[in-house]
Amino acid sequence: MELKFPKILTRILDMREYHPAYETEIHVWCNAPREFFGEYGSHAKKYNEGEQDGLLSWASKLWSQGDKETHVSVDEIKKLIAEYKETDPNLFNWMVWKSLDLAETHKIAIKKV
């Protein structure tokens, strides 16, 4: 028997966890290489200093590993941030933190087996 498994694993970030009115699901890449997750810190620091491109590109890659129709582009993230800047300024940050939490939960579940 030949064992076949997908090379890329995603978990669903259900935006209704943030608020019931947000009926969107984002596919989060959970088995990305360690180097990829290691890049988060430097991108987040630069983001807090006003340089958005690195973190937005990183988040787009994190959210664009599932089926093509589920991909999230940098432009879509920029639009989301601009649209909710005044009314919900922490939305993007929550999405990133929750995505990291999903990936970490995936890795912990593997370690427990």
Q: Give me the pLDDT at residue 100, please.
A: 96
Distance CA 60, CA 29 (A): 10
Question: Domain for residue 63, yes or no?
Answer: yes
What is the pTM for the complete model shown? 0.89
Range of the domain at 24: 10-112
Q: Give me the pLDDT at residue 15, please.
A: 97
Question: Domain for residue 33, yes or no?
Answer: yes
Q: How many domains does the chain have?
A: 1
Length of the chain: 113
Look at residue 111 and tell me whether its pLDDT is greater than 80.
Answer: no
Average pLDDT over residues 78-87: 96
Q: Give me the pLDDT at residue 107, please.
A: 75
Q: Give me the pLDDT at residue 97, please.
A: 97
pLDDT digits (tens, 9 = 90+) for 19-33: 999 999 999 999 999
For residue 110, the SS3 value is: helix
Residue 53, phi-psi category: left (phi > 0), alpha (psi -120 to 50), beta (remainder): alpha
Tokens of 78: 């920029």
For residue 106, the SS3 value is: helix
